[in-house]
Amino acid sequence: MKRLFTLLLLLCTSVSALAEATQDAADSDTLQQVSAGDWQFSLALGYGVLENPRAKTDNISTYVLPSWYYYGERFYVENLTLGYSLYETDWISVDVQGQPNEDGIFFEFDGVGKLLLSDIMGFTPSREPITRPSKAVEPPPAVERKISYLAGLSATWYTPAFDLTSGLFYDVTGVHNGYEWQLSAKKAFVWSWGAIGLEAGGVYKSAELVDYYYNARKEEFTRPIRLKPLEAATNWHVKAVVNVPLSDSLMLVATLKHTALGDSIRDSVLISADSYFAGFVGVSYQF
C-alpha cells in the first residue's frame, strides 16, 4: 500500500497539470466541457514505475493508479492539488494552490515490505559469511525525512503557441521552511483518435529545502564525518501524456516524466543518480 501511495503521490504531482491540459484540449472535440460542480473518479489498471535516485533503494512499481477531480465555482481539487481561482480571463488565470513536495516522497516511504522479504528469504547483502559479533552493535538510524506541503500563487498565460505557468510555493507545514519556484511550458495536440500533451520546465528549490532533504546527518553515519550545508538547486524536467478514448468510459493512458537533478542534489552522499523517471501505461475507467 505504501508503494502504491508513493507512486500515486509523485505521478499526481508531476502529471496532473499536463493531464489537465490534454483533457481540456480533448474536451473541445470529443468530450463534454467541464463546468462548475463537475467531479470524476478514474481507476487505471496497467503498470507504473518510479525510479528512486536515493542510494541503495529500490524502484517502486504499481499496477493500479486512481485519479480524481472536482471543480466548483472557484475551488477545485485535482488529485492531491488544492486550488482556488482568484482571477481568470481568456488569456490569464491566477490561483492559490497547495501541493505535496515531491522530494519527501523518496524518504517518507521506503518500501517497508522489502525488509520483511529479506527476513523470510534469509537474504543478506553481505558478500562474506556473517559471524555473530562479540558484543551487540547498534545499527545506524535510518535516513528519514518528512513530506511537506507547499502553498502559494500560480499564474498561467494562455498563448496560441503554448501555455506558460509560473508558481511560487512555500512550505506551510514547517518541515523545512523552504520554497520552490516552478516554471513550465505546456502544449496540447488533439487529433480524432486522442490527444498528446508535452511539457518542459524547471523547479528552483531553495537552500533550506535542498539541505533538509538531501544533506546527511551526522547521526546517519557510523564514522565521524564533516558536513556542510547544501546550496539551492534547479531540477529540469520533460513530460508527456497520451490519452486515447476507447469508449465513453474507457481510455488508454500513458504518462512519462524525466527529471534531471540539480548540481547540489546530485552531489549529495544520499543520491546515486543524476536523474530519474516516473511513468504509467494502462487503461483508465471513468466512474
- The span from the CA of 273 to the CA of 53, in Å, is 5
Q: Check residues 58 and 97 and name the one with the higher pLDDT.
A: 97
Neighbours of 32 (CB within 10 A): 7
Q: 85 lies in a domain?
A: yes
Buried b (16+ CB within 10 A) or exposed e, 144-171: ebebbbbebebebeeeeebbbbebebbb
pLDDT, average across residues 259-278: 93
CA distance 183 to 265: 19
Determine whether 119 is exposed, middle or buried from the number of CB atoms within 10 Å of its CB (0-12, 13-18, 19+).
exposed
For residue 133, is it within any domain?
Answer: no
Answer whether residue 92 is part of any domain: yes
CA 72/CA 128 separation, integer angstroms: 61
Q: How many domains does the chain have?
A: 1
Q: Which of 155, 210, 206 is nearest to 184 (CA)?
A: 155
Structural domain range at position 221: 2-121+138-286
Residue 20, classed as helix, strand or coil, is helix
Higher pLDDT, 15 or 54: 54
pLDDT for the residue numbered 65: 80
Give the cell for residue 239. Answer: 513530460
* 130 falls within a domain: no
Q: Has residue 61 got a pLDDT over 60?
A: yes
Residue 126 lies in a domain: no
pLDDT category of residue 244 using cuts at 50, 70 and 90: very high
Selection from 64, 84, 70, 142 nearest residue 109 by Cα: 142
Domain of 143: which CATH number?
2.40.230
**What CA–CA distance (Å, rounded) separates 162 from 15?**
17
Residue 22 inside a domain? The answer is yes
pTM for the structure as a whole: 0.78
pLDDT (mean) for 215-224 = 75
Q: Quick one: cell of 43?
A: 481507476
Q: Find where cell 547483502 sits.
A: 125
The answer to the question of residue 247 being in a domain is yes
The answer to whether 271 and 216 have CB atoms below 8 angstroms apart is no
Q: Look up residue 73 and give its three cell numbers.
A: 465555482
Alpha-carbon span 171 to 121, nearest angstrom: 41
The reply to whether 266 falls in a domain is yes
Mean pLDDT of 29-34: 44
Is 90 exceeded by the pLDDT of residue 38? no
Evaluate whether 52 touches 63 at the Cβ level (below 8 Å): no
* Residues 80, 78: Cα–Cα separation, whole Å: 6
In this structure, the chain runs to a length of 287
Cα gap 192→206, rounded to integer Å: 43
Average pLDDT, the chain: 79
pLDDT interval class at 147 (50, 70, 90): confident
